[in-house]
Structure 1
Amino acid sequence: MASAPKDKAAKPASSSRVDQQMIRDLADLLNETGLTEIEWSEGPLKVRVTKAGTPVYAAAPVAAAAAAAAVAAAGAAPAAGDDASHPGAVKSPMVGTVYTAPEPGAAAFIKIGDSVNAGQTVLIVEAMKTMNPITAPKGGRVARILIENQQPVEFGQPLLIIE
């Protein structure tokens, strides 16, 4: 009879014990896949591992919105309408976050004055954790870049002008 209470007391202690190697494996999986969060559960045990760094992306939309408001207040809003109707405008095909380089710290895909060929990747728009390459619809010279790195963009928003 004395052994039954010991077994009951021992069982919760072992099931609530966290396997540190499993947590390390989950963290490695985050790094390998590029995910920012992963959750695993087995019975009453639930483990969630998240990667720091997300607040960096949260700050970018605020800065971009403030910059856009400042430009609009300065009277540059009519130019944005002209850019959208420009025949060389490259517009965003989706809502997302635009990236000007293939990875952080890398050189930008293009800069003002560069010559581009039709089909050449000029930007990336991230939507729902998927990186979507934006290609030049025609060849020409990059006349204007209308966005900044990590700026949120809307569907149909002009991103750059190719002349």
Structure 2
Amino acid sequence: MSKQTTDTDVAFISALAELLNKNDLTELSVKREYGEDDSLEVRVVKQATVMTVAAAPAPLMHHAAVAAAPVAVTPAAPEDPAQHPGAVTSPMVGTIYLSAEPGATPFVAVGAQVAEGQTVLIIEAMKTMNHIPAPRAGTVKRILVEDGHPVEYGAPLMIIE
């Protein structure tokens, strides 16, 4: 991978982020082919308050990471779950699973008592299942995510009090 290609990829990703904002889109996914077994796959997603850019890995792929500028930030609602002192936030980008396998009993439910270190959910990232432990003992007050849905780094997952 040459520096010129990396600079070109960064400019391409920046242009996609700008296109997303300009056209009031919430998500944009593009695959750029460079040749046999060489590509760049980019997914740009705008959330309510922040836009993120993620480059998905592919064999012999050029990696380009860019921090997108935040979009217009709306004032947080008084009950913003991310600001709650008992919020459990996502340590990574991935897909949320509330149980060990499809159809199995969820790790926790609203009202359940959890011990510090107990697995409360799984985040799949790059084909790896990452068990997310409860950061503290307490009662699960709210579950803020849905099984099988994507989650961003720092997103609130649940409230434990």
Normalising by structure 1, report the TM-score: 0.51
Per-residue deviation, residues 98-157 of structure 1 (Å, max 9, x unmatched): 000001110000000000000000000000000000000000000000001001000000
1:136 aligns with 2:113: no
CA distance in 1, matches of 2:138, 2:85: 12
RMSD: 1.6
Larger radius of gyration: 1
CA distance in 2, matches of 1:87, 1:146: 15
**What residue number does 2:120 align with?**
122
Q: Which runs of 5+ in 1 are unaligned?
A: 1-64, 66-76
Number of equivalenced pairs: 87
CA distance in 1, matches of 2:146, 2:127: 19
1:109 aligns with 2:107: yes
Q: Output the amino acid matched with 2:83.
A: S
CA distance in 1, matches of 2:80, 2:134: 19
Kindly indicate which of the two structures has a greater share of residues assigned to strand.
2
CA distance in 2, matches of 1:78, 1:123: 26
Q: Which runs of 5+ in 2 are unaligned?
A: 1-46, 48-75
**What residue number does 2:153 align with?**
155
For residues 21-32 of structure 1, the aligned pairs below 5 Å read: none
Which 4+ residue blocks in structure 1 deviate beyond 6 angstroms? none
Three-state SS of the structure 1 residue aligned to 2:107 is coil
**What residue number does 2:41 align with?**
none
CA distance in 1, matches of 2:84, 2:95: 22
Larger relative contact order, structure 1 or 2 (CA cutoff 8 Å, min sep 6) = 1
Three-state SS of the structure 2 residue aligned to 1:84 is helix
